[in-house]
Structure 1
Amino acid sequence: MKKEKTIRLFLNSILTCGLAVLILNCSTAKEALEISKSEKETFKQVKGDTIKISSDLTEYEIIIIEPGFYTWLNSIAKPEGYYSQNFLENRNYIMVLEWNQRVLQPSRFSPNLYELQIDYSSQIDYGYEVNYKLYNYFIYFQRKYNQRLGPFVPRI
C-alpha cells in the first residue's frame, strides 16, 4: 500500500512537471512569433531587393529576389558570427528538405511561395556567408508568410 502510494505521488509529480513544461513551451513559442513594428514595416516593402549569396571559396550561389529581405537582413537579423557554421548548416539542411517537399506539392502548398527547388547538400561546404544568408532568408520567409519549415520556431 505504501509503495503504491509512493508510485502514485511520483507519477503525479511527473505529470505536473510535464504539464508545466508544456505550458512554458507554448508561451515561449508564442512570444517568439511576435513580429515587431519595424519588422512588419520591412515585410510591407514592395521594392524588389535582390541578394546574391555566393562564396569566393566555392562556385555556389543563390539569388534571392524578395522585397524587404535586404533591409531585414541588415537591420533585424542577428549579425554575422552570431551562429556557428555547423548550426547554420544543420538548420539549412532541415529547412531545404521541407522547402523542396513543398515545391513538389503545388496543390497543397502555394506555388507562388514555393517556386523552385533548392540544391543543397550536407556534404558540401558552402562557406559561412552562404549558410548565414540562406538561414536568415528562411527565417525571414517563415515570419513574413507565417510558414513553418521544420520543428523550430522561426525566431530572431
Structure 2
Amino acid sequence: MRIFVIIFLFMILGVASCSTSKTVNNQSSQSDTQINGDTIRIANDSLEYEVIVFEPGFESWLQTQKPRGYYSKSYLEQRNQYNVIIYNSRVYSRPRLYPQEIDYQPHIDYGYEVNYMLYHYFLFFEQKYNQKLR
C-alpha cells in the first residue's frame, strides 16, 4: 500500500521530466480535480501532468486542512522543494517507507493545485507514518 502512496508523486515528476524544455507562461491554467473515495486525480492538459493519490484517508484528512488559497504558491513551492530533498535523502536508507525518489524540479511551474496537494501529502505522510521531514 505504501507504494501507492508515492505513485502520485511519480506521476507528477514523470510527466514533468518529459517536458522540461517546454516553457510555461505565468497565466493560471485550469485544473481538473476528481475525487472517488480515497483516490484523488488532478489533471491539467496544458502543463501535461496528472497526479493520482491512492492513500486511504488522505481525502478526508485533506478536508480538515487549511483551504486552497490560504498559503501562497511561493510558500508551497519552497516547502515542497525542501521536503522533496529530505524525502529523497531517505529513499536508500528506508526503501520500504520511501520506495522511490521524487523528481520535483524547482524551475518547472507545476501550478498552485499540484503544489497544494504535494505540500499536504507531505503533511499527511508525516502524521500517518510518524516521520518528520523538517
Runs of 4+ in 1 over 6 A off after TM superposition: none
Q: What percentage of residue pairs aligned between the two structures are identical?
A: 56
Q: Secondary structure at the match of 1:95?
A: helix
Aligned to 2:50: 61
Higher strand share: 2
Aligned to 2:103: 119
Q: TM-score, normalised by structure 1?
A: 0.58
Aligned to 1:140: 124
Q: Kindly indicate whether residue 114 of structure 2 is the aligned counterpart of residue 130 of structure 1.
A: yes
Q: Kindly indicate whether residue 41 of structure 2 is the aligned counterpart of residue 52 of structure 1.
A: yes
Aligned to 1:87: 75
The offset of 1:115, in angstroms, is 1.3
In 1, Cα distance between equivalents of 2:45 and 2:71 = 20
User: Matched residue pairs, number?
Assistant: 98
The offset of 1:62, in angstroms, is 2.8
- Residues 56, 79 of structure 1: CA spacing in aligned structure 2 closer, same or farther, 3 A cutoff? farther
Gap runs ≥5 in structure 1: 1-47, 151-156
CA RMSD of aligned residues (A): 1.6
- Residues 53, 117 of structure 1: CA spacing in aligned structure 2 closer, same or farther, 3 A cutoff? farther
Q: Which amino acid aligns with 1:53?
A: I
Q: Secondary structure at the match of 2:90?
A: helix
| CA radius of gyration, larger in | 1
Q: Secondary structure at the match of 2:114?
A: helix
Q: TM-score, normalised by structure 2?
A: 0.67
The offset of 1:56, in angstroms, is 4.2
Q: Which amino acid aligns with 1:50?
A: T
Aligned to 1:77: 65
